[in-house]
């Protein structure tokens, strides 16, 4: 099978940008803009994001990628003696090459269920810390890191998030949500957590661009103005400040115009739902109960190899000697025709 006919469902960051974004970048290309995110496009994008989040006082910053955003935010939200609570499957725990520790902080991992933390586990972690006679010799939990959707494509419900927020509030720690794939949560019928909910419940979160239709970029939202003083300088210090901040600003302005971010999410979810239904009908086994744009199926190694001839999927992990978990991911770029062809092959 030649490359042209091959199907690509391995990830959601394999193609460029949503055409509307490229068109807007092209249209505005020769406009002279101020640097470092102080331009009018970035200001307009901030205004639209604040409106979408119902967070009129929010500070909004545009960073480049997810690991960078997590490292900057966790590093600036914690004091040196504190660590961040995360699921043992969290991106910051596993796949950021130790960026959080490189910044001086311990990731305090808790067991996960379908990629999620529970309020009870967080409370227990806090209680154990404070009850330990030696806690002053230990790393104090200072914040919680969640991802929505999680690394396994699952979702926190509003009730779960509220419960976690309450544990954080009573424990005096912050709540931060990694929304690398947030478009695919927001567009999901099972989801009941809106942007205003996130703004109401989190001390900071980010709206993912890289995996949701932008060339690059993540929009950090800090609902309470100046919650992190001098964050601009710390972004610079972390090498995370874009000189041409307007390139991110234009992208997010476009994403938050005419509900493009919603459309991008729905395209992916519609495609994923069709694939999920077909998989279920054909008796495939799902590894995680994911309702978002990532589908995890358990296959024999032979079946996985056969399918992979025609479809690029993501390898997730081995299950014993005979089976593997493979990931099928849809995105803003997924074409209906390709979904048809994939379903045929399954």
- Binding to a second copy (CB under 8 A) within 277-336 occurs at 312, 315, 333
Instruction: Provide, rounded to whole angstroms, the least separation between the CB of residue 291 and a second copy.
Output: 23
Chain-centre distance of CA 5, in angstroms? 30
Beta strand 311-312 pairing with 7-8: parallel
Q: Are 7 and 310 in contact (CB under 8 A)?
A: yes
List 1, 5, 97, 344, residue binding a second copy (CB under 8 A): 97
CA distance 314 to 162: 33
Q: Which of 1, 2, 189, 239 binds a second copy (CB under 8 A)?
A: 239
Q: Is 19 in the site for a second copy (CB under 8 A)?
A: yes
**Is 236 among the residues that bind a second copy (CB under 8 A)?**
yes
Of 113, 224, 230, 277, the one binding a second copy (CB under 8 A) is: 230
Of the candidate spans 168-176, 237-245, 287-295, 320-328, the one that interacts with a second copy by CB under 8 A turns out to be 237-245
Q: Is 263 left (phi over 0), alpha (psi -120 to 50) or beta?
A: alpha
Residues 37-66 that bind a second copy (CB under 8 A): 64-66
C-alpha to C-alpha distances, 193 to 8, 201, 292, nearest whole angstrom: 30, 10, 13
> Does the footprint of a second copy cover residue 1 (CB under 8 A)?
no
Dist CA 151 CA 8 (whole Å): 20
DSSP codes, 58-86: -EEEEES-HHHHHHHHHHHHS-TTEEEEE
Q: Which of residues 182-211 bind a second copy (CB under 8 A)?
A: 210-211
Q: Considering beta carbons, is residue 54 or 238 the nearer one to a second copy?
A: 238
Residue 71 binds a second copy (CB under 8 A): yes
Instruction: Find the shortest distance in angstroms from Cβ 93 to a second copy.
Output: 9
Among 1, 2, 5, 32, binds a second copy (CB under 8 A): 32
Q: Contacts with a second copy in 119-178 (CB under 8 A)? A: 133-134, 136-140
What minimum distance in Å lies between the beta carbon of 155 and a second copy? 22
Q: Does 68 contact a second copy by CB under 8 A?
A: yes
Q: Count of residues binding a second copy (CB under 8 A)?
A: 79
Secondary structure (DSSP) of 3-55: TTT-EE-S-SSSS---HHHHHHHHHTTT----STT-SHHHHHHHHHHHHHHT-
Query: Minimum distance from CB of 226 to a second copy (Å)?
Result: 13
- Written as one string, the DSSP assignment of 237-278 is HTT---TTHHHHHHHHHHHTSTTHHHHHHHHHHHHHHHHHHH
Taking the complex as a whole, how short is the minimal distance between the CB of residue 68 and a second copy, in angstroms?
3
């Amino acid at each position: 099978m030649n490359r042209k006919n091959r199907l690509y469902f391995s990830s959601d960051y394999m193609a460029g940008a949503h055409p509307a974004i490229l068109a807007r970048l092209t249209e505005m290309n020769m406009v002279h803009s101020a640097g470092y995110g102080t331009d009018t496009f970035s200001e307009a994008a901030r205004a639209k994001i604040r409106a979408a989040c119902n967070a009129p006082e929010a500070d909004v910053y545009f960073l480049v990628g997810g690991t960078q955003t997590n490292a900057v935010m966790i590093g600036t939200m914690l004091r040196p003696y504190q660590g961040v609570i995360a699921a043992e499957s969290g991106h910051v725990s596993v796949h950021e090459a130790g960026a959080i520790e490189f910044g001086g902080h311990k990731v305090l991992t808790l067991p996960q269920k379908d990629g999620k933390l529970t309020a009870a586990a967080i409370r227990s972690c806090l209680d154990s810390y404070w009850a330990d006679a030696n806690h002053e010799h230990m790393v104090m939990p200072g914040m919680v890191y969640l991802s929505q959707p999680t690394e396994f494509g699952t979702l926190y419900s509003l009730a779960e998030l509220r419960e976690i927020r309450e544990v954080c509030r009573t424990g005096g720690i912050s709540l931060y949500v990694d929304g690398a794939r947030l478009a695919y949560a927001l567009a999901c019928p099972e989801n009941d957590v809106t942007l205003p909910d996130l703004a109401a419940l989190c001390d900071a979160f980010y709206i993912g661009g890289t995996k949701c239709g932008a060339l690059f970029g993540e929009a950090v939202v800090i609902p309470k103005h100046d919650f992190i003083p001098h964050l601009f300088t710390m972004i610079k210090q972390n090498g995370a400040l874009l000189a041409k901040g307007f390139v991110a600003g234009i992208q997010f302005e476009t994403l938050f115009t005419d509900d493009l971010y919603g459309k991008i999410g729905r395209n992916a979810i519609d495609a994923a739902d069709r694939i999920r239904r077909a998989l279920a009908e054909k008796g495939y086994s799902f590894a995680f109960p994911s309702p978002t744009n990532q589908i995890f199926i358990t296959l024999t190694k032979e079946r996985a190899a056969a399918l992979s001839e025609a479809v690029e999927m993501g390898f997730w992990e081995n299950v014993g000697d005979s089976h593997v978990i493979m990931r099928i991911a849809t995105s803003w770029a997924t074409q209906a025709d390709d979904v048809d062809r994939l379903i045929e092959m399954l």
